[in-house]
Amino acid sequence: MRSLFRRGRAGPAPEPPPRPAHATGDEAGHALRAPGRLHAFNRYEIKYLVPSGDLPVLRAELAGRMDADSHGDSSGYGVWSVYYDTADLRFYWEKIEGLRFRRKLRIRHYGDRSTIDDDTIVYVEIKQRVNKVTQKRRVGLPYHLALDLCDRQVMVEHEPGQRAFLEEVLELVSGLRLRPVAMTGYQREAFVGRDADVGLRVTVDQRIRGRDRDFDLGAEAENRLTVPAGLAVVEVKANERVPYWLTDLAARTDMSVVRMSKYCQSVEAFGRAPRSIFHVTDED
């Protein structure tokens, strides 16, 4: 069976993507949560699979050179996403096949899911990959409007500058007959670069889990671990070149680059596609 995790030894910094015309630093991270505007940014992303026992050393190294994300506390924050796809999982297979251009649609919430109601701000997001560059565009909407847009396929109230993006979402949903397919959730710690590393962002995601039904973001539904509990996904996100000190840290700590998608892991975990060897049956 084909594994979604493609391992590789940490090596030299990759070639930089085109310089994006957008804000950097913390603003390029979770300051993007501010509702109202259309947010768009490009960046290069590298994922590593790290044993949980190695996180204290890694965390200390990152804290010495980066700042903690201002939106989280000492334990981080929850990230919950509902992914949309076609009946034959077009977006899933585009990722598996490694197409140079691919995209996916999701609704995302940051924080405690028990507090979600119709008026909670969530994010309708199109994430796409163009060659080696990840591009994201998203808007913040009250949850009930996000569902009107993505589930009921109706245009919603919006601010100037948002209409073209909302029309693209509607075209995707109606043209491809998208529907909710999988939900993912995890606890995230995030670090943002400072000084010469402004624009750098490193996230540490643990307790990665999901489900294939009950797609209400606030539902008290059962989730299943989709990555073993003893592993964390560390993701490096940079506007341009990853700094040398970070690639050196990855090499010194024997971090392995992996090709994986939390969405794809969730699809496989519930038997909708061949399972990777990293799936577990433990329920969370």
Question: What's the sign of the alpha-carbon dihedral 125, 273, 280, 201?
Answer: negative
Per-block mean pLDDT, blocks of 10 residues, the chain (284 long): 42 37 39 52 87 94 91 84 96 90 95 91 94 89 97 92 94 96 95 90 95 92 91 91 91 88 91 63 42
Question: Angle 153-268-97 (CA atoms, 0-180°, nearest 5)?
Answer: 80
**Whole-model pTM?**
0.82
What beta strand segments (E) does the chain contain?
8-9, 38-51, 66-68, 77-85, 101-110, 121-130, 133-142, 179-193, 201-211, 224-225, 231-238, 256-257
3-class DSSP assignment, residue 264:
helix
What residues form DSSP beta bridges with 183?
82, 211
The pLDDT value recorded for residue 283 is: 41
What is the amino acid identity at position 162? Answer: Q
Judge whether 139 and 107 are in contact, CB under 8 Å: no
Distance of alpha carbon 244 from alpha carbon 108, whole angstroms: 32
Closest CA to 231 of 283, 186, 191: 186
d(CA 150, CA 143): 11
Phi and psi angles of residue 141, each rounded to the nearest 5 degrees, phi first: -140, 150
Give the N- to C-terminal CA distance of the chain in Å, as an integer: 25
CB 139 within 8 A of CB 165: yes
Residue 112, token pair as written in the block: 């405690």
Spatial contact of 57 and 253, defined as CB atoms under 8 Å apart: yes
Q: Which tokens go with 101?
A: 């251009």
Per-residue confidence (pLDDT) for residue 159, from 0 to 100: 84
Domains defined along the chain, listed by start: 8-269 (3.20.100.30)
Residue 181's alpha-carbon distances to 18, 112, 152, 155, 215, in angstroms, are 33, 22, 15, 22, 8
